[in-house]
Amino acid sequence: MTYRVGIIGGTGYTGSELSRLLVRHPDVELAALTSRSNAGVKVSKVNTFLKGYTDIEFTEKISDTKDLDFVMVATPRGVAMDEVPALMEQGIKCVDLSGDYRLKDPAEYAKWYGKEHTDTEHLKDAVFGLPELFRDKIKGADLVANPGCYATSAILAIAPLMKSGLVYPDVFVDGKSGTSGAGMKPSERLHHPTCGETVTPYSIATHRHQPEIDMVVDMFAGGHTDVMFVPHLIPIVRGIISSCYFRLKESATQEQVDEIYEKQYGAERFVDYVPEPSIRAVVGSNHAQVGSKVYGDRAVSFGVLDNLTKGAAGQAVQNMNLMLGLDEAAGLDFPGLGV
């Protein structure tokens, strides 16, 4: 069976990356992409890298395309909660990449996203879509909230150690991301003379990935944790590294820590536990790398991924595969660039 998939928000970096992955997916037909400004224009004329891979045109609304089996929502915050209810009523499964369904508490959503949540009915049923940690729940879901890119890299690095009980429930996360994580809209911060050849901290204590990191880390700690997350912009296009610093409750060897991570990720297709994680090793792929080192009475763990793939579009396709009962690696089984 071939599933007809649509994307709401087809011209942003994430929507474009979704298109790139889906046009080569063996079980999927890319049936619809929306763009108000490009409605009626061939997708390959706007996204020229798709020439020869799709002949469809952009539509203004997802409802302009009939008989869809699945929809990806790749829009700014606040759009998905207006679109998803109608899709759910039609029995169409969805992955939301925008953040509208990540936080289970509507008050938390209002606090961090600056507006009231208008679809609390589906919010309570949405599954947080990090497959390596919540695979069983994703398999039975109709609506999955794709995690944020920083959140994915940090949670993958933190969860195993926090679950082990070896570390105190406080962690400092030093995150660094490329410029594509900010989206396509130009800004002074992203202007090349401003961001080139420098590292810039930003959105400290206000970044919207903070509450989802808190939410999931609390789950694995079995109680409240104190996560200090400090994001930085670095002058690369794609990629994230989150360096996560812990205090050990008791002495631990490197072998003990290695065993914790190997037990968690040893059988995973897309998360590799390695001695020295590298952004270049994973860029362009759905792979993530995790590493950890014991340092006296402390430990540091690293989560590395491509913010547009495992941090967004690739993870969404991985979630879709699970939701539709497909091979989890379908359409994603290729390595990072390496150079």
Average pLDDT, the chain: 97
Note the pLDDT of residue 116: 97
- What CATH code is carried by the domain that includes residue 193? 3.30.360.10
Same domain, 198 and 91: no
Q: Of residues 190 and 26, which shows the higher confidence score? A: 26
Same domain, 190 and 264: yes
Which of 334, 329, 289 lies closest to 311 in space, CA to CA? 289
pLDDT band at 189 (very low <50, low <70, confident <90, very high): confident
Which of 107, 122, 237, 141 lies closest to 181 in space, CA to CA? 237
Note the pLDDT of residue 188: 86
pLDDT band at 190 (very low <50, low <70, confident <90, very high): confident
Which of 309, 324, 301 lies closest to 19 in space, CA to CA? 309
Percentage of the residues of the chain whose pLDDT score is greater than 70: 100
Same domain, 209 and 288: yes
In a domain, 164, yes or no: yes
In a domain, 137, yes or no: no
Same domain, 196 and 104: no
In a domain, 118, yes or no: yes
From 75, 108, 125, the end of a domain falls on: 125
Residue with tokens 């994430």: 14
Domain of 91?
3-125
Same domain, 238 and 275: yes
Q: Can you spell out the DSSP letters for 193-252?
A: HHHTT--EE--TTT-TTHHHHHHHHHHHHTS--EEEEEEEE-S-SS-EEEEEEEEESS--
Same domain, 180 and 292: yes
Q: Are strands 127-128 and 143-145 parallel, antiparallel or unpaired?
A: parallel
In a domain, 316, yes or no: no
Which of 133, 119, 45, 103 lies closest to 315 in space, CA to CA? 133
pLDDT score of 192 more than 90: no
Same domain, 173 and 97: no
pLDDT score of 306 more than 90: yes
Note the pLDDT of residue 183: 85
pLDDT digits (tens, 9 = 90+) for 31-65: 999 999 999 999 999 999 999 999 999 999 999 99
Residue with tokens 């990191």: 213
Note the pLDDT of residue 136: 98
Residues designated as active site: 149
pLDDT digits (tens, 9 = 90+) for 117-170: 999 999 999 999 999 999 999 998 999 999 999 999 999 999 999 999 999 999
Same domain, 178 and 275: yes
In a domain, 331, yes or no: no
Give the global pTM: 0.97
Question: CA-CA distance, 13 to 6, in Å (whole number)?
Answer: 16
Please report, for residues 193, 201, 221, 305, 331, the alpha-carbon distance to residue 198 in angstroms, rounded to integers and kept in the order given: 10, 10, 35, 21, 35
Same domain, 193 and 285: yes
Same domain, 80 and 183: no
- What CATH code is carried by the domain that includes residue 53? 3.40.50.720
In a domain, 139, yes or no: no
Domain count, the chain: 2
Same domain, 120 and 156: no
In a domain, 115, yes or no: yes
In a domain, 57, yes or no: yes
Same domain, 155 and 297: yes
pLDDT digits (tens, 9 = 90+) for 215-248: 999 999 999 999 999 999 999 999 999 999 999 9
Angle between helices 131-139 and 149-164 (to 10 degrees): 100
What angle is formed at CA 207 by the lines to CA 201 and CA 208, rounded to 5 degrees?
155
Question: CA-CA distance, 229 to 155, in Å (whole number)?
Answer: 12
